[in-house]
Structure 1
Amino acid sequence: MSPIAIEDIREYGVFSFIGLLGGIFANSTGAGGGVVFIPLFNQLNFTEQQSIATSFAIQCFGMTAGAFTWWFHYHSEKTQLRLWQGFKRIISVTTISSIMGIWFVYGNQLSSPTSLHHSFSWFSLVLGLFIIGTIFFIKPHRERSQLYLFDWLALTTIGLFGGALTAWLSVGVGELLAIYLILRRFDISMAVAAAVIVSAFTVWSAIWQHTLIQFEIYWQVVLFAGPGALLGGIFAKTLVTHLSATKLKLFFAFWLLIIGLIGIK
């Protein structure tokens, strides 16, 4: 191995662990891996476009692995998954509207209302507080499986708005979808699985903006973080199946609060 290759491993090898952490977190909560990557890239002084583009590229590894893992889980056990009746329809509607939302932003070259650091911090903080509120102030009921007209309208709105947020922050649609489904009392594993698969479709639809149209990806980071995220995406489902809904939401919420508070300071 050449000295240059060894030096690259020393300099970028830590990103393999970061990718693994991001992949596990993203695919066990339904949140995009950008929740881990964007704060780190900000500390490393990446430009906003480099941060978003690199985050998308890493997520193409992690979210895709997680999507396949969850999809195989659904197909192998669907006869027992009574509460997953609307799984494919939720994915279809939200994915289509998310891709429309993200490419509306790209096609019209719409800039984020504020800086990436500021927007991401407030998004994380508000979402974290909202999740904690649902844990302590909303009484549990029996889980549901039926979708109503209101749900279809909400899913379309989440896709459009979440897609736009994802274009600006590299996260958004997965988080919003997971939280909505949990609030509506759908099965926690189904909520996470749907959010992961929608996020995977969304990042793949967006990656062309950051490769063919405007290349800003930091490939040295992706080379090491991508395989780590892939492994994290494969193992994340095991974590979800061993955590209660409350523990999973608390874990998700406190991570978001930490990110938000650190970023706002």
Structure 2
Amino acid sequence: MRFTKRRYRSPIIISVVVAVLWLLCFPFFYESFISHLYFMPFVGAIAATIANITPAAAGIVYFPILTHINMAPVTVSQFSLMIQAYGMGLGTFRWFLFNRKLFIFNVIPVSIAGGFLGEIVSIVYLPISNPELLSLIFNFIAFLFTQIVFFSLIRNSQYPSKKVELNEFNITILFLLSFVGGLLCGWIGFGIDTIFYFVLTIIFRINPAAAIVTSISLMAAMSVTGTLLNFIFRELPLDLWFSAIPGVTIAGLFLAAYIAVKIGSRNILLLFTFFLATDFFMAFWTQEILPMTPAVKKMVIYPLAFYMLVFHIKLFIDNYNNSGIVPEDFNAMG
């Protein structure tokens, strides 16, 4: 009982401090918050919950929502890194209080080094400023991730490992793929966490619960470094960040871990793939970079939609038939 109280005491203290500071700063952001950013606490709560229970950062939620209301994709990616540095930092702290054995600590420094180098390249030397291109890249990557999630769920493989041996080959793999993830973080505000999750589960056979939590901590670290780079070389959308703080705080400190334990990461990933696929279809239908007639777009979207629907039905049936089994048990790691 005492340990349980200790788990909640620190989050409650942090939330009270954040609430006081937010109210003190509110007069400086009052106009923008009331006029057009009043919905951000709700979006922030959803994004932070997803970011702290799945191997996909909050930017994967913010990007489609905010770009669809005509915010510049570059601004959204900068904001995503800012708010993830805060929200996923809180989530990392909360998971550490919940079960520190979920963290694969020895792989984090190598991955941070590779990811930070990738962020330097993408933010400082090779920034992408074309909004349409940035949006298309995001949705294409998100859809690819969706397929990887599907097949990892369908395989329902065993993941016996709880640690990664850092030999020369493994360090090289972690560094190079983290570099690619860092490039994505600088361009679209997320990516290294999802890549890292699949590296841990598919290559190293790490328990998915540990892979999810470790990827969250890595994305939090890369969001901090990405935000620092944006602060030095670009501008930061402080009004957006301020507006999302209330929802992100509640989700990061309280909602995410509770929902993950109750629902199970398998079901969460399944629902999230539906969201990603839907957003991809919408983006593909409205994009104008690739010259396509509506008939051609339908020929692409309809078969893909049928394919996704079949997979979702199969996985839901499998989950129903195995309703008592939660392979990614966040409590079971020991």
Superposition TM-score, scaled by structure 2 size: 0.69
Structure 1 position 105 matched with structure 2 position 122: yes
Distance 1:66 1:142, change over 3 A: closer
The whole-number CA distance in structure 2 between the counterparts of 1:33 and 1:7 is: 22
The whole-number CA distance in structure 1 between the counterparts of 2:262 and 2:77 is: 32
Give the aligned partner of residue 205 of structure 2.
185
Instruction: Give the 5 Å matches for 1:23-102.
Output: 23-75=48-100, 78=101, 87-102=104-119
Distance 1:133 1:191, change over 3 A: same
Give the aligned partner of residue 218 of structure 2.
198
Deviation at 1:225, TM superposition (A): 0.6
Amino acid across the alignment from 1:105: S
Deviation at 1:205, TM superposition (A): 0.3
3-state SS of 2:52 partner: helix
- Given that 2:32 and 2:239 are in contact with CA atoms closer than 8 Å, whether structure 1 keeps it comes out as no
The whole-number CA distance in structure 1 between the counterparts of 2:156 and 2:79 is: 40
List per-residue Cα deviations over 1:9-40 (Å, max 9, x = no partner).
36322100000110000011031110010111
Distance 1:206 1:7, change over 3 A: closer
3-state SS of 1:168 partner: helix
Amino acid across the alignment from 1:103: I
- Given that 2:53 and 2:265 are in contact with CA atoms closer than 8 Å, whether structure 1 keeps it comes out as no
When the two chains are superposed, the root-mean-square deviation of aligned CA atoms in Å is 2.5
Structure 1 position 169 matched with structure 2 position 227: no
Distance 1:6 1:111, change over 3 A: closer
- Specify every segment of 5 or more residues in structure 1 that has no aligned partner in the other structure, as ranges: none
Superposition TM-score, scaled by structure 1 size: 0.86
3-state SS of 1:46 partner: coil
3-state SS of 1:207 partner: helix
Structure 1 position 144 matched with structure 2 position 164: no
Amino acid across the alignment from 2:227: I
- Given that 1:129 and 1:257 are in contact with CA atoms closer than 8 Å, whether structure 2 keeps it comes out as no
More deviation, 143-152/66-75: 143-152
Deviation at 1:7, TM superposition (A): 7.8
- Specify every segment of 5 or more residues in structure 2 that has no aligned partner in the other structure, as ranges: 1-25, 286-334
Distance 1:142 1:19, change over 3 A: closer
Amino acid across the alignment from 1:261: F
- Given that 1:102 and 1:167 are in contact with CA atoms closer than 8 Å, whether structure 2 keeps it comes out as yes
The whole-number CA distance in structure 2 between the counterparts of 1:207 and 1:161 is: 18
The whole-number CA distance in structure 2 between the counterparts of 1:13 and 1:182 is: 39
The whole-number CA distance in structure 1 between the counterparts of 2:107 and 2:222 is: 14
- Given that 2:55 and 2:194 are in contact with CA atoms closer than 8 Å, whether structure 1 keeps it comes out as yes
Give the aligned partner of residue 135 of structure 2.
117
3-state SS of 1:115 partner: helix
The whole-number CA distance in structure 2 between the counterparts of 1:64 and 1:49 is: 22
Instruction: Give the 5 Å matches for 1:120-135.
Output: 120-135=138-153
Distance 1:151 1:231, change over 3 A: farther
Distance 1:5 1:141, change over 3 A: closer
More deviation, 58-67/151-160: 151-160
The whole-number CA distance in structure 1 between the counterparts of 2:256 and 2:128 is: 33
